[in-house]
Amino acid sequence: MSSNYAAELNVALLAVQRATQLTKSVFHQNAKGTLNKSDASPVTIGDFGAQALIISALQANFPNDEIVAEEEAKDLRENGKMKDLVWSLVQDAKLSDQGAEQTLGGTINGANKMLDIIDKGDSKGGSSGRIWAIDPIDGTKGFLRGGQYAVCLALMVDGDVKVGVLGCPNLPVSDSEPLREGIGADASDEEGKFGVLFSAVQGQGAQSRPLSKGGLAEAKTINMAPISNVSDATFCESVEAGHSSQGDAANIAQKLGITKPSVRMDSQAKYASIARGAGDLYLRLPVRKDYVEKIWDHAAGDLIVREAGGQVTDVEGQRLNFRLGRTLKENKGVIAAPKDVHSHVIQAVKEVLSAKQ
């Protein structure tokens, strides 16, 4: 297999594009089939459908690769009505470009086969071989609110992220649009102005292209914005106060001399936004000591930001370690910033967090 990952990138882009179109169609339905998982977080028919579509595309192209995906089919096996809803979504989700559909490997052979496909995302992960990480909808709470969300896919080889793709249906197509809150699904109906696919391959830079309903649109290179003084930075953080400490972020910003208010958005759209220069910093500060971050919440964004000229670490300044299984058990929080100011930001993070103890 070639080492420039061209085939992997092409399949990943098309698979994410198709799955993102599926999630958009769910958003426009009244019933999103929301269930609460055992950790009290939501999952919808859009999450299940997107996961089924992405895994089936990966299996058609790379049958020997392992897959770590967020969702499992258990709830659908126990709920025939939801299973049927997801199955009809999956059957309807087709890109209008025949070549693209051919690349993605044809239709799934029935609803029960679809459940088995969803459950193929149960790899334990680890430090060897080819492993894909899938978050079929990252920011499910944002998705339900009509805010930002992202369909996320990354390929790790021997624990290193090689390919990352993010489908962000509610971000503006223009890389120079200023970062602001409250751009969401209402805006995304303005034809052609919203919906972006972001991607990166290790050593090859990062790109953005408009999300399409058919084949892939033309891509542009993206870069983080040059920043001479960190006090001029715009930083982004979670909408959900339970996911990231907004109080700690405000104290860190103050220490850095930042006066602009934070931009709150759900999902890995934060990584994508800073990678394209629409914002500068992404701060994710642990709320609970016992929470462990999941690899599918970070793998694609980590590569896209680093390939756009950024650095991504935890709050201690350690790189995110994707080799340890399904979680980032050796990391706490995430700090992403342009390379030349990252250590300065980490210094402020350490001062604020150590003052709390």
Ligand X SMILES: Nc1ncnc2c1ncn2[C@@H]1O[C@H](COP(=O)(O)O)[C@@H](OP(=O)(O)O)[C@H]1O
Q: Where are the beta strands (DSSP E) in 70-217?
A: 130-138, 150-157, 160-172, 194-201, 206-210
Q: Indicate the annotated binding residues.
A: 70, 135, 137-138, 297
Q: Considering CB distances under 5 to 8 angstroms, the limit depending on partner class, which of ligand X, Mg ion, none binds residue 248?
A: none
44 is catalytic: no
83 binds ligand X (CB under 6 A): no
Whether 126 and 159 have beta carbons less than 8 Å apart is answered as yes
Least distance (Å) between residue 88 CB and ligand X: 23
- Running DSSP on this structure, what letter comes out for residue 327? B
338 binds ligand X (CB under 6 A): no
Q: Which residues pair with 138 in a beta bridge?
A: 150
Which residue's structure tokens are 């299973």? 83
Nearer to ligand X, 267 or 311 (CB): 267
332 binds ligand X (CB under 6 A): no
47 is catalytic: yes
Q: Indicate the annotated binding residues for Mg(2+).
A: 70, 135, 137-138, 297
Q: Of 29, 28, 13, whose CA–CA distance to 212 is shortest? A: 13
- Please report the sign of the dihedral spanned by the C-alpha atoms of residue 322, residue 327, residue 332, residue 337: positive
Judged by CB under 6 A, the chain residues 256 through 275 that form the site for ligand X are 266-267
Nearer to Mg ion, 277 or 286 (CB): 286
CA 22 to chain centre: 16
Q: Considering CB distances under 5 to 8 angstroms, the limit depending on partner class, which of ligand X, Mg ion, none binds residue 242?
A: ligand X
Binding window for ligand X (CB under 6 A); candidates: 23-31, 75-83, 236-244, 312-320: 236-244
Least distance (Å) between residue 240 CB and ligand X: 5
State how far the Cα of 286 lies from the Cα of 294, in Å rounded to an integer: 13
Binding site for Mg ion (CB under 5 A): 41, 70, 135, 137-138, 297
Buried residues in 188-222 as b, exposed as e (16+ CB within 10 A): beeeeebbbbbbbbbebebbbbbbbebbbbeeeeb
How many residues touch ligand X under the rule CB under 6 A: the total is 18
Integer angstrom CA distances of residue 169 from 14, 130, 228, 266, 283: 14, 28, 31, 12, 22
Binding window for ligand X (CB under 6 A); candidates: 98-106, 134-142, 182-190, 193-201: 134-142
314 binds ligand X (CB under 6 A): no
140 binds ligand X (CB under 6 A): yes
Binding window for ligand X (CB under 6 A); candidates: 48-56, 196-204, 239-247, 307-315: 239-247
Whether 21 and 89 have beta carbons less than 8 Å apart is answered as no
Name the pairing type of β-strands 281-284 and 235-237: parallel
Least distance (Å) between residue 123 CB and ligand X: 17
Active site residues: 47, 140
List of residues contacting ligand X (CB under 6 A): 41, 70, 135, 138-140, 142, 238, 240, 242-243, 266-267, 287-288, 291, 294, 297
